[in-house]
Chain A
Amino acid sequence: MRDYGKPLPELGLAKTWVPPFKLSMPAERVDPVTYEIVRHRLWYAGMTIGETLRKVSGTIVVSEAQDFSTFITLADGAPAFLGPYVLLHAGIASLIIDGTLKVMTQNDKIKPGDMYFLNDPWMGVVHQPDCAVISPFFVGKELIAWCGVVVHQLDMGGVDPGGVSPHAKDAYGEPTIYPAVRIVERGRMRSDIDRLLRRNSRLPDILALDVRSMIAANRAAQNQMTEVVKRYGVSTVQTVMSKMLWDSYMAFAERLDSLARGTFRARDFFEGGGYLPEHADELYEVDLAVTNDGERLHFDFSGTSPQANGFVNCGFGGALGGILGALLPVLAPDIPWNGGILARLEITSQEGTINNPIWPAAVSGGVTEGSISTGTVTAGALGHMIQCSPAASAKLPPPSGSVFMGSTFGGVDVEGKFWGTLIMDPIGMAANASSNADGVDLCGSGAIPFTRFANVESAEHSYPMLYLYRRMGRDAFGYGRHCGGRAIEFAFKIHDVDFAALLLWCHGAEFPNVIGMSGGGPSSAARFGITGDTDIEKLWASAQLPTSDDFDFQALVAKKELFLTPDDVIVFTIPGGGGYGDPLSRDPQLVAEDTISGKLSPKLASDWFGVVVTQEGTVDLEATKRQREQLCLRRLQEAKVVGNKNEIKDASFTNPKSKGAPVLNIGDGLSIKLQPDTETLVWACQKCGFQYGPIEDNPFYHAALRHGHINELGHPMGQMVHLDQPRFIMREFFCPNCALRIALDIARPDIDPVIHAAQLDEGWVMEHFVSKVATLKAPAITTTTDGVR
């Protein structure tokens, strides 16, 4: 474990990764009209790949869940076009092409008419069910470009059905790995490889169908590329692709330049390494420090847990996918997504860690574990960076970490046939709140732009299940001045069959994963629950349909295998988004509305927001004022301080009050001020001016700190692994003077140091804010502030 206030320790086996391609400004100039015409044409060519895939495959994974991605790259793997599907896959285009180029030898070269099939997590794919087919595009003998698709497969073998293997200890127990095999040679599909693929899947025909659709999609892409090259010429097409990359590269540089310089940190945990007894107690940590130097983002994962002996690791492609899934929608919502953005990233990571494991680590659950957790820390660190960037924060969406509640549900139907599926409803995720709005309800995963869950009727039509309700979770979102968005909660039972198996996996069940910003509360936890004690049939007979409030669910641990009988009712509560700002600053009227609509319980309205709502649903203003004062008082009474050596001690605050006007406001709670007497920069409370300490310090070390039981959050939660002793506490950080909350984090008691979330580059602050204030606002400051004092 590393002290975040100190310089980085020796990295040991850590390596720094840069993209395996080089970008340069296109040497040739294409006139703007031709550029726009060819660019648009290539874009539609890329879209044709997705449409062909959808058309030929027609499976639910491709057509309904859109769990696939498409790309067109330059010869070296620089992706000029990324389809707007699953970003987790799309980011890895360059890795799998680079990986394929590297395994080819002098005697076995890439040839025109070849296509390669691969699902090797050590060649870039996120986990084994994500299968890629890529094809080189030649003009004459010259390799010009690559086209490709990645499609999730329902079964590629392994110890558990469905491709995700919670029972595995290593990759040998997981789906079979194909490290770039030639599926098409000289334009023809190889029947031996086809046989090999079928033989290793529980659903050989569907796999065969999808492999054919992937080949058809590559052919469609090759045809379109051929037509474009024929019409506009090779060099024009290459130049246009290079310029597409270069434009995004330059636009992303401008974006980075508009963001705060410094190092920004976040930490995430996930519990449970699999279904085996030795997995039960496991707890893993992903640590990230992102440094923005104005031109590049450097990601450092030092401190991340060693690899697990279960399915939760993710290959390096998963880490990259996690980063891009969180980064692109937040830092580049308005920049075309392609390798130009990738080219400004550097990643330092130790081999043998949970998101950069060494063969033969088990990785089949990596997509929802290691990779998503990597996305969560990325979102957290970028969130701090954006908060410190006044120029950018207003126009960028709030970063949202996430959890995907995975499941494989299957059994044998009345005709004796095997059935199985993934339950896709958990894609009904929510977004974090931002400085100017509540988080968006049900926006779906950030890493998958267009997502939607299936109709209840479609699910009940295809599988022997019956939904009891599907609603947004009550109290299941982060509390703040702006509240996190709400996610889906649904309950179902089996129907028409006597028995079914349900494999469940997620993380963040006994603690929330997604932190709130600027003093906002965290997301809720992920909850799997079950109850067998229902009188459904009796209630139905008397024309009563029980729904959410009528069940008393017993919470489950994050990773659990269940065998369901018709009496069992299962619930999934997907975590809502994190909050923004101190909940005591939320407009009481909005809190009252939240209680009327059923979004928030009246008790939590009072406990967390300090708002007292009358029977009629109006705000009791007097009682609210009293309650809020009471809560502030309690905050300070119970608080301790972290102190410079990270030792918690009783609070005694003797810091002088800060002077002058803020040069930079950070979120709701903090500001940076220039102290006129010492000409140094300090952290100060935005509300009362309390001085936390010099800019190089972590302001949280100087804040009042209160430890709280995780259950205080009031969210629906999963089961604690150790029932009597939660492994996590909630830590609240307040202004010791006015009790304004500036942060809330989740940590293991006595183990986890307080994170130095925003370590700002002092020179950047001086240059960008102080000099401006001095020249523009200096007279104003002297007359108003100093004059009054």
Chain B
Amino acid sequence: MKAPYLLGTDIGGTFTDCAVFGSDGDMIVAKTPSTPPFFEKGLLLSLVSAADKLKVTIEDLLKNSRHLSHGTTVATNALINQKGARVGFISTKGFEETLWHMRGAAYCQGLPIADWQHKVTNPRPFTLVDPSCCIGISERIDHSGKVLCPLNEQELTDAAQQLIKANGVDVVGIGFLWSFINPVHELQARDIILEEFPHIPVTLSSELAPLLGEYERWSTTALNAFLGPEVKGYIERMLSELAKTAHKGDYTPAHIMQANGGLVSHKRAIAEPVKLLQSGPAGGMVGALELMKVLKLDKVMTADMGGTSFDVCLIDKEAPYVQSSIHNRHAIATRMVDIESIGAGGGSIARVERGNLTVGPDSAGAEPGPVCYSKGGIYPTVTDANAVLGYLNPKALLGGKMSIDVEAARRAVEDNIARLLGMEVEDAALGIVQVVDAHMADLLRFHALSRGHDPRDFSVFCFGGATGLHACGIAEQIGLSKTIVPLGGAATVFSAIGIARCDQKRFFSLSRTFALVAGNAELLVEAFDELMEVVRTQLAQEDIDPKRLGWSFSVSVRYRFQTNELEIPISKNKTGSSLIDTIINRFDKLYTKRFGPDSGYREGGRELLAVHAVGILPTPREAIIASSLNGSSAGGGQALELSGSRMCFFADAGWVETGVYNIDSLDPSASGYKIQSPAVLEAEGTTILVPSNWTASIDAYRNIILEVI
């Protein structure tokens, strides 16, 4: 592999993944255990592992890397473990309970629908800000930005004293009503606080999430403040580890992946820790977009099954976003990749209730894990069912690092499922697998239908550790005759691959609401002027010249009286009423396409809600994914060598001697080869099942194409 390299790393809760691209397009990947709470150690381990595979030292790897990009679960972990700062929050007086109210949805928000039935017995999500640390002060601005009541400086000073001196908060968030229209009071409040307490980090709702809706904006602000110290500590430790490791600190600065699918500088990442939540899955979406370009596909759904959850994402040419989402039961109003999840994974527990077979949504997780991992799990899981059926390598999971206890899995399925249902143990195991396949297929179908698409128009990319075993089962349930495991064995580190190839991106939004009519053309121009002023100010803080970035612009629009919003891309070359006409035109068309004919209430008129600007600093892309395989794309078709065989159980054929292939290092010459089914394809960290009525072939990019015979 040729230097300089592109490095992509993704720290997950269990594993830390690494992908290295050479400038010749070659790629190697590595997977090592994560090391909470000091995740930076695990990061180094994965880099060492990658360097070993390249047969270079880690110092050389770092020195010769053009780019180290990095997705991390640190923020997610801090949120799950409720390990964050003690936050003080200052709001408009009379609205200091807003964060506690959660718009009255505290007992349902972010929970599976089945749990809504017994909401009053559900626990509240843990409180980001203790109610005693939320103080309201006198100030009021109305919807037009007019100051009705000036900021009461004395009340503010008293509040800051109370929070910082008496209540001992580490960080302060400030959220005032309508601050996204007129931030003057929030800015003034920050100045006053910093004057007295210069060491206290202050997050402003108007800077972090300048959008309509005080609960979501303030929740984002509070969450950002809560995560701040933990994320800052991690990033600083990581940078210092890298500096220690590299020759004389000689390495390219790390860029951090955000949930919006863009990389930012470590300084920016420290200032906006809330945007690191879900950054790994966002990497998967970026990887899928890259691969779609190579394969010339327009419509792809991604399916990522891990130990506890199953994530799906629908890409119709462009990256899908949501502006508002729920994360670990907390509302976040910053742009995130639109990913939907259910509790279905390798660890999902199978049960018999009232004579019915159920699978999940509860999971044995990593601890105690499936029965066959022998770490104390006693309930049969999806992984146990796969083990019973012979699909998993009993001796050498994770590239030989782990063996499994198939007998224990068999006993668990027998005792807890098969006997109660009066089934053979194999049929029960197969049933568990089929049920979880169907559940995942139902989510994929629902995700597509609820976004106005037919899932059968899409190709499916199956990546993540557990998806390969279920790829064909899911496809069968949806009625697809083809499904793709991208990049073969590297599918298990697909997010790291996406992160490596991601661009630096900066998203800026400003909420401005007015009727989209020709007479308001001037307002639109003003809104963009204001937005660009924000852009200049923020980038100046990081010494970035906006001209270095490539810019694109868009606006959020809806029909008056309807809540569905669409983001319409615009070109800034047009101005005035012709621009308004163009927006209206595009919006009407897109609305019809997305929501169906006659679904838009055009008579109500259209309303502009926000203006957006995205700045992109592209990552060098001379090396398209594994392009060195291109030469053989005509199909060398050289046969893959069997690495062994074992007995596997299938619905139609029962126990069958099944070929096992190792696909860790696929040779380019195998491109075009069709593997005879049934077969099991094994790689470090993942296994792909090819049932007897399916066939697998390998394409020029090492993708495994699974097709119905």
Task: Name the contact of A495 in the complex, choosing from B142, B177, B558 (C-beta under 8 A).
Answer: B142
- The residue on A at minimum CB distance from B513 is A461
Q: Does B601 lie within 8 Å of A51, measured CB to CB?
A: no
Q: Are A397 and B595 in contact (CB under 8 A)?
A: no
The segment from A206-214, A261-269, A583-591, A713-721 that touches chain B is A206-214
**Could you tell me which residues of chain A, from 204 to 259, have a CB within 8 Å of some CB in chain B?**
205-206, 209, 212-213, 216, 220, 247, 250-251
Contact of B140 among A41, A442, A545 (CB under 8 A): A545
User: For chain B residues 125-157, which have a beta carbon within 8 Å of chain A?
Assistant: 131-132, 136-140, 142-143, 148-153, 155
A58 interface hit (Cβ, 8 Å): yes
Q: Are B449 and A48 in contact (CB under 8 A)?
A: yes
Does any Cβ of A come within 8 Å of B358's Cβ?
Answer: yes
> A452 CA to B98 CA in the complex, in Å?
12
Which residues of the other chain, A, contact B562 by a CB distance below 8 angstroms?
Answer: 57-59, 63, 209
Given the complex of chains A and B, what is the CA–CA distance between A443 and B111 in angstroms? Answer: 14
- Nearest-neighbour CB distance to chain A for B142, whole angstroms, equals 6
Q: Which residues of B contact A452 (CB under 8 A)?
A: 102-105, 109
Report whether A456 and B103 are in contact in the complex, using a CB–CB cutoff of 8 Å: no
Q: Which of A47, A56, A440 is B446 in contact with, Cβ under 8 Å?
A: A47
Is B376 an interface residue, CB under 8 A from the partner?
Answer: no
User: How far is the CB of A500 from the nearest CB of chain B, in Å?
Assistant: 16
Which residue of the partner chain, among A64, A337, A544, contacts B152 with CB atoms under 8 Å?
Answer: A544
In the assembled complex, how far is the CB of residue B566 from the closest CB belonging to chain A, in whole angstroms?
A: 11
Known pairs A36-B358, A455-B212; A442 contacts B106 (CB<8 A)? yes
Does A251 lie within 8 Å of B151, measured CB to CB?
Answer: no
Are B143 and A460 touching (Cβ within 8 A)?
yes
* Inter-chain CB contacts under 8 Å: number: 230
Q: Is A757 an interface residue (CB 8 A)?
A: no
Q: Is the CB of A449 within 8 A of B104?
A: no
> B529 → chain A, closest Cβ, in Å?
22
Stretch at the interface among A306-314, A467-475, A692-700: A467-475
Stretch at the interface among B76-84, B112-120, B232-240, B367-375: B112-120
A205 touches B601 (CB 8 A): yes
Q: Is the CB–CB distance between B117 and A334 below 8 Å?
A: yes
Chain B's closest residue to A213 (CB) is B599
Known: A329-B119, A543-B149. A250 touches B97 (CB 8 A): no
Cross-chain contact B596 with A247 (CB below 8 angstroms): no
Say yes or no: A334 contacts B118, CB within 8 Å.
yes
- Looking across the interface, which residue of chain A has its beta carbon closest to that of B599? A56
Task: Give, as a whole number of angstroms, the nearest-CB distance from B137 to chain A.
Answer: 8
- Given A36-B357, A206-B601, A329-B120, is A470 in contact with B98 using a C-beta cutoff of 8 Å? yes
Given A32-B356, A216-B596: A451 and B95 interface contact (C-beta under 8 Å): no
Shortest C-beta distance, A77 to chain B (Å), equals 22
Residues of chain A within 8 A (CB-CB) of B98 are 470
**A365 CA to B409 CA in the complex, in Å?**
59
Q: Min CB distance, B53 to chain A, in Å?
A: 42
The CA-CA distance from A209 to B599 in the complex, in Å, is 7
Q: Binary interface profile of A, 40-67, with partner B (CB < 8 Å = 1, else 0)?
A: 1101100110011001111110011000
The B303-361 residues at the A interface (CB cut-off 8 A) are 352, 354-359
Q: How far is the CA of A468 from the CA of B138 in the complex (A)?
A: 11
> Which of B107, B152, B564 contacts A543, CB < 8 Å?
B152
Let me know if A457 and B178 touch, CB within 8 A.
Answer: yes
Q: Tell whether A444 is near chain B: CB-to-CB under 8 Å.
A: yes
Q: Bound complex: CA of A693 vs CA of B140, how far in Å?
A: 62
Q: How many whole Å from B255's CB to the nearest CB in chain A? A: 34
Given contacts A40-B438, A216-B599, A450-B105, contact A58 B94 (CB under 8 A): no
A33 sits at the interface (CB 8 A) = yes
Given the complex, which residues of B lie within 8 Å of A32, measured CB to CB? 352, 355-357, 421, 423, 431
Q: Tell whether A107 is near chain B: CB-to-CB under 8 Å.
A: no
Verify A468–B149 contact, CB threshold 8 A. no
A442 touches B212 (CB 8 A): no
Asked if A455 contacts B595 (CB within 8 A), the reply is no
Q: CB distance A33 to B357 under 8 Å?
A: yes
Q: B649 at the A/B interface (Cβ < 8 Å)? A: no
Task: State the Cβ distance, B361 to closest chain A Cβ, in Å.
Answer: 11
> Please, which residues of chain B bring their CB within 8 A of the CB of A443?
104, 106-107, 119-120
Nearest to B515 among chain A residues (CB) is A415
Residues of A within 8 A of B198 (CB): none
Decide yes or no whether A418 CB sits under 8 A from chain B: no
B212 cross-chain contacts in A, Cβ below 8 A: 455, 457-458, 461
Q: Mark A536-569, 1 if CB is under 8 A from B, else 0.
A: 0001110111011000000000000000000000
CA–CA, A231 and B386, complex, Å: 25
* Chain B contact residue count (CB 8 A cutoff): 83
Interface of B, helix, strand, loop or mixed by DSSP: mixed
Q: How far is the CA of A60 from the CA of B116 in the complex (A)?
A: 21
Q: In whole angstroms, how far apart are the Cα atoms of A439 and B121 in the complex?
A: 10
In the complex formed, the residue of A with least CB distance to B131 is A597
| Contact (Cβ within 8 A) B117 A212 | no
State the Cβ distance, A629 to closest chain B Cβ, in Å. 33
- Most A Cβ at <10 Å: residue of B97, B119, B430, B598: B119
B214 CB contacts on chain A under 8 angstroms: 455-457
Q: Using a CB-CB cutoff of 8 Å, which residues 593-611 of chain A contact chain B?
A: 597
Q: Is B506 an interface residue (CB 8 A)?
A: no
B642-666 CB mask vs A (1 if < 8 Å, else 0) is 0000000000000000000000000
A322 within 8 A of B: no
Give the one of A41, A48, A545 with max B CB within 10 A.
A545
A40 touches B442 (CB 8 A): yes
Which residues of A are found within 8 Å of B138, using beta-carbon distances? Answer: 543-545
Query: Is B439 part of the contact surface with A, judged by Cβ < 8 Å?
Result: yes
In the complex, which residues of chain B have a beta carbon less than 8 angstroms from the beta carbon of A453?
103-104
Residue of A at shortest CB range from B117?
A333
- Closest approach, in angstroms, between the C-beta of A329 and any C-beta of chain B? 7
Known: A33-B435, A431-B120. A470 touches B450 (CB 8 A): no
A480 at the interface (CB under 8 A from B): no
Residue B434 at the A interface, CB < 8 A?
A: yes
Question: Looking at the complex, which one of B107, B357, B449 makes contact with A440 (CB distance below 8 Å)?
Answer: B107
**A328 sits at the interface (CB 8 A):** yes
Docked-complex contact B356 and A55, CB < 8 angstroms: no
Cβ contact within 8 Å between B563 and A58: yes
Say yes or no for A398: interface residue by CB 8 A criterion.
yes
Residue of B nearest to A328 (CB): B117
Interface string of A77-108 (1 = CB under 8 A from B): 00000001000000000000000000000000
Contact yes or no, A469 B94, CB < 8 A: yes
B587 located at the interface, meaning its Cβ lies under 8 Å from any Cβ of chain A in the complex: no
Is there a chain B Cβ closer than 8 Å to A488's Cβ? yes
B527 to nearest A CB, angstroms? 16
In the complex, what distance in Å separates the CA atom of A211 from the CA atom of B182?
A: 39
Is B576 at the interface (CB under 8 A from chain A)? no
Kindly state whether residue A674 has any CB partner on chain B within 8 Å: no
Which of A's residues lie within 8 Å of B, judged by CB?
31-33, 35-37, 39-41, 43-44, 47-48, 51-52, 55-60, 63-64, 84, 205-206, 209, 212-213, 216, 220, 247, 250-251, 328-329, 332-334, 337, 397-398, 400, 427-428, 431, 439-440, 442-444, 446, 449-458, 460-461, 466-472, 488, 495, 539-541, 543-545, 547-548, 597
Q: Which residue numbers of B lie inside 8 Å of A, CB to CB?
A: 92-98, 101-109, 113, 116-121, 131-132, 136-140, 142-143, 148-153, 155, 177-178, 212-216, 352, 354-359, 421, 423, 430-431, 434-435, 438-439, 442-443, 445-446, 449-450, 452, 477, 513, 558-559, 561-564, 595-596, 598-599, 601, 603-604
Q: What are 12 A-B contacts with C-beta separation under 8 Å? A: A32-B431, A52-B450, A84-B113, A428-B104, A440-B120, A450-B105, A451-B105, A455-B214, A457-B212, A466-B142, A467-B94, A540-B149
Given contacts A37-B438, A44-B442, A329-B119, could you give 20 more A-B pairs where the C-beta distance is less than 8 Å?
A32-B352, A33-B357, A58-B563, A84-B113, A333-B118, A333-B121, A397-B120, A440-B107, A443-B107, A449-B108, A450-B113, A453-B103, A457-B214, A458-B212, A458-B213, A467-B95, A471-B97, A540-B140, A543-B152, A545-B137
> Which 7 residue pairs spanning A and B have beta carbons closest together?
A469-B94, A333-B118, A58-B562, A33-B431, A51-B450, A449-B116, A540-B149
